[in-house]
Structure 1
Amino acid sequence: MAPFSLMTAGVSMLAKSFSVFSCTTALARCTSVLPSTYINPVKYLTSQTSGPPKRPLNGYMRYVLQQHPIVTRQNPETKPVDITRRIAQQWRTLSPEQKRPFQEASQRAMEQFKMELQHYQAQLTPAQVKQQTLEKRQKLAKRKAIRKKRELTSLGKPKRPRYPFNIFMSEHFEEARGTTSQAKMKSLLEDWKNLFSHQKQIYVQLAEDDKIRYKNEIKAWEDHMVEIGREDLVRERKKPAAKTPVAKTGTKKAKAKAVKKPAATGKSKTTTRSTKSSSAKTV
């Protein structure tokens, strides 16, 4: 009876494994038919201790992530920039029905993101909220500075003058010692410190010439900005120091004389008194 029981147990285990295998193959077939936006696992709300939840991707970015490996496989010699452009062109040609699955998945992810963000903000302390607002302001200021720099570059603002060491480094960077850029800069700094004064004077003169170049170019550029109506990009030019008017200095001297006059009147009073007393004595 024991061998028979072992045989039945083995048959049952074999049947169970066959059923599991059939279920997994069926699931794989189903997932291969559905787009990847439908099979993303659902994230449950958890305590976000490390940081706030990340904002989900929109429908277009989901389409890009799905099509990027396919287009790359079909065009292995194409540059990544051209692949992205090709995917963007495909997205424009899609119909609203074809775009709907990606947009709906993005909408569901956005709703979940809002719930997670609300749950995360409820766990923050006042100090953490203050810190987050400060970091947000810093990020906005950084983005604003980057946009302004790009705008100035597109408008052709001249580059600022270089320092003597910068000129020396640009001339000898390729032949510097070291494999990395940091090692090369460190070796160039040591070489710069070991230079003689007459050797440094060459780069100092080049830097002075570069200052003159910048001064002329920035003046012409600012005049052009005023002509096209962009006075907001012009620097605030230093106004000449206002000279003290002569009237004010005269008033100060007059005040000083007025202060000294009472002493003089006091002396005159004593002299008149002395003359009066002498005249009385003579009488």
Structure 2
Amino acid sequence: MAPFGLMTAGASWLAKSFSVFSCTSTLARCSSVLSATYITPVKYLSSQASGPPKRPVSGYLRFLLQQRPDITRHFPGIKSTEIMRKGAGQWVMLTPEQKKPFNEAAQRAREQFKVDLQRYQALLTTEQFQQETQARMQRLTKRRSIIQKRELNTLGKPKRSRNSLNIFYSEHFLDARGLGPQDKMKSVVQDWKNISLNQKQIYTQLAEDDKIRYKNEMRLWEEHMVEIGRPDLVRENMLPTKRKPAAKAQTIKKGTKKVIDTVKKATASKTVRSK
């Protein structure tokens, strides 16, 4: 069980954070919360009874999940992003001793997760194990793709150019017929097929202009990426050209041959004179 001084400090901090309960009630509530967090056995749940064990959360997320009901009760209608922000602010203010119960519980959960995962994998057939591995790789690839997309958005990568149908779709989607998004999409596509060639030519020209916009913005963006040391985000054909090592070696070879020929001529002339 956590020390009494630790629980008192946590209670005092929560009282200042929310400013809704008296010091006595806050102390009792916080003391019970920290104690339960420290001694409650960790449970490992999965979305399916026959599926793999669920990966445990970190100590920070354990704290955030514990504080979420209190935050939503004291701030009705609060958004999830604001809950994360308030919880993160409270976590930062905790001392290492106050964070210790959550981190220790997370560590025990990770150790138990490894045991449960090995036990689960031992029951799989070779085909099932390969399917699980493939599914895990697909999830990892998708996660990496999401992270890369967020990074590119943060770095301000220009949006790709749109074709004529996409431009027409974006302009007419809100006024399209149908109740759901799929019905609206079908009606817009049908309207696109029914318009005249002259009307389509307008959107074709807009698409060509958008290609020019994208090309110019990408050129400036890639130049900036090279300047800040991120050439890995630049297309290969847009990287600065470098002199080939083979051409340099050939130049040196020609120069060396020229020097050798000069030395040979000078040696031959000295030999003739000595005779």
Question: What TM-score comes out, normalization by structure 2 length?
Answer: 0.65
* Cα distance in structure 1, aligned partners of 2:34 and 2:147: 41
Q: 1:189 to 1:106 in 2, by over 3 A?
A: same
Match of 2:168 in 1: 168
Q: SS of 2:76's equivalent?
A: coil
Match of 1:197 in 2: 197
Q: 1:236 to 1:37 in 2, by over 3 A?
A: same
- The farther-off stretch of 163-172 and 103-112 is 103-112
Q: 1:179 to 1:44 in 2, by over 3 A?
A: closer
How do 1:73-112 and structure 2 match up within 5 A?
Answer: 73-76=73-76, 78-112=78-112
- What amino acid is the match of 2:183? A
Match of 2:70 in 1: 70
Q: Does 1:212 align with 2:212?
A: yes
Q: SS of 2:182's equivalent?
A: helix
Which one has a bigger Cα radius of gyration?
Answer: 1
Q: 1:99 to 1:157 in 2, by over 3 A?
A: closer
Q: Is the 8 A contact 1:158 1:218 kept in 2?
A: yes
Q: 1:232 to 1:80 in 2, by over 3 A?
A: closer
Q: 1:191 to 1:45 in 2, by over 3 A?
A: closer
Match of 1:124 in 2: 124
Q: 1:41 to 1:151 in 2, by over 3 A?
A: closer
Q: 1:219 to 1:119 in 2, by over 3 A?
A: same
Q: 1:32 to 1:177 in 2, by over 3 A?
A: same
* Cα distance in structure 2, aligned partners of 1:126 and 1:172: 52
* Cα distance in structure 1, aligned partners of 2:45 and 2:85: 36
Q: Does 1:140 align with 2:140?
A: yes
Q: Is the 8 A contact 2:58 2:106 kept in 1?
A: yes
Q: Tell me how far 1:121 sits from its aligned partner.
A: 1.0
Q: Is the 8 A contact 2:42 2:105 kept in 1?
A: no
Q: 1:34 to 1:201 in 2, by over 3 A?
A: closer
Q: Tell me how far 1:106 sits from its aligned partner.
A: 2.3
* Cα distance in structure 1, aligned partners of 2:45 and 2:189: 53
* Cα distance in structure 2, aligned partners of 1:44 and 1:149: 32
* Cα distance in structure 1, aligned partners of 2:183 and 2:218: 35
Match of 1:250 in 2: none
Match of 1:50 in 2: 50
- What amino acid is the match of 2:131? Q
Q: Tell me how far 1:32 sits from its aligned partner.
A: 6.0
Q: Is the 8 A contact 1:36 1:66 kept in 2?
A: no
Q: Tell me how far 1:73 sits from its aligned partner.
A: 1.2
Q: Tell me how far 1:163 sits from its aligned partner.
A: 0.8
Q: Is the 8 A contact 2:45 2:53 kept in 1?
A: no
Match of 1:227 in 2: 227
Q: Tell me how far 1:172 sits from its aligned partner.
A: 0.9
Q: Tell me how far 1:35 sits from its aligned partner.
A: 4.3
Q: Is the 8 A contact 2:44 2:54 kept in 1?
A: no
Q: Tell me how far 1:170 sits from its aligned partner.
A: 0.8
- The farther-off stretch of 212-221 and 225-234 is 225-234
Q: 1:169 to 1:75 in 2, by over 3 A?
A: same
Unaligned stretches of 5+ residues in structure 1: 1-30, 239-283
Unaligned stretches of 5+ residues in structure 2: 1-30, 239-275
Identity %: 62
Match of 1:157 in 2: 157
* Cα distance in structure 1, aligned partners of 2:54 and 2:236: 42
Question: What TM-score comes out, normalization by structure 1 length?
Answer: 0.64
